[in-house]
Amino acid sequence: MFNIFDQNLMIQRMREELTEHGFRELRTAAEVDAALGEAAGSTLLMINSVCGCAAGAARHAFDGARPLGVSEDGVKQYRSHWPQTMAAKPE
């Protein structure tokens, strides 16, 4: 039975859109810390949610920015689906 409130079904394609373009998913605060700690230079951290901002603009903007020199090596997380990744506050 289809459940419109099943977040896994709702965000699966949104997750795939970014991982297909080189983003690495970060689901825990430790994964975020590790990814940002290993980065040399700049890192694009895409906070992907199911709101209109991410769904309608942010994911598509990344594709448009790539010809301008934005690296394909990115990281992402899903704020609304894994709130524990937002638990750690940046220093």
Q: What is the mean pLDDT of the chain?
A: 67
86 has catalytic annotation: no
pTM above 0.85, yes or no: no
28 as an active site residue: the answer is no
The catalytically annotated residue of 9, 30, 53, 87 is 53
Structure tokens at 28: 């825990």
**From 9, 51, 61, 65, active-site residue:** 51
The answer to whether residue 18 scores a pLDDT higher than 60 is yes
Count of domains observed in the chain: 1
- Structural domain harbouring 64: 7-36+43-86
In a domain, 91, yes or no: no
Band of the pLDDT at 78, cuts 50, 70, 90?
A: very low
Q: Is the pLDDT of residue 71 over 70?
A: no
d(CA 49, CA 52): 8
**Gap between the Cα atoms of 57 and 29, Å rounded:** 25
Most confident of 11-15, 37-41, 62-66: 11-15
Instruction: Let me know: does 29 contact 87? Beta carbons within 8 Å.
Output: yes
